[in-house]
Amino acid sequence: MSNFNKISVGQDARTELHDQLSLTGAEISVNNLPAGAGVPFVHSHKQNEEIYAILSGKGKAVIDGETVELNAGDWVRISPKAKRQFFAAEDSGISYVCIQVKENSLEEYTANDAEIYQ
């Protein structure tokens, strides 16, 4: 049995990686909106915070009624209860990764969770 999974992601509108990578602690999706398009719904979560990484393009997120401009290289963390919706700019598509994890679940990270082998 392998200790890793690897896949390649195309330019589909949305690719959820949960099943493809056998994820057990996070949900990750890769999203591509063409110029002028938007996610067709507003949503929030019960327990999970979301972290968005803007890979390319530009657009905006409306979070609890506040407009947040988004550009390649931006990272945004949104608490579970916040209502959110994403849009590509009129003149540019946007590609982003969304990482969804249970809020306040991180116990160990970086060096504290690592075992170093020499």
Q: Which CATH architecture has domain 14-103?
A: Sandwich (2.60)
CA 116 remoteness from chain centre: 29
SS3 18: helix
Per-residue pLDDT tens digits for 72-98: 999 999 999 999 999 999 999 999 999
> pLDDT class for 14, splitting at 50, 70, 90?
confident
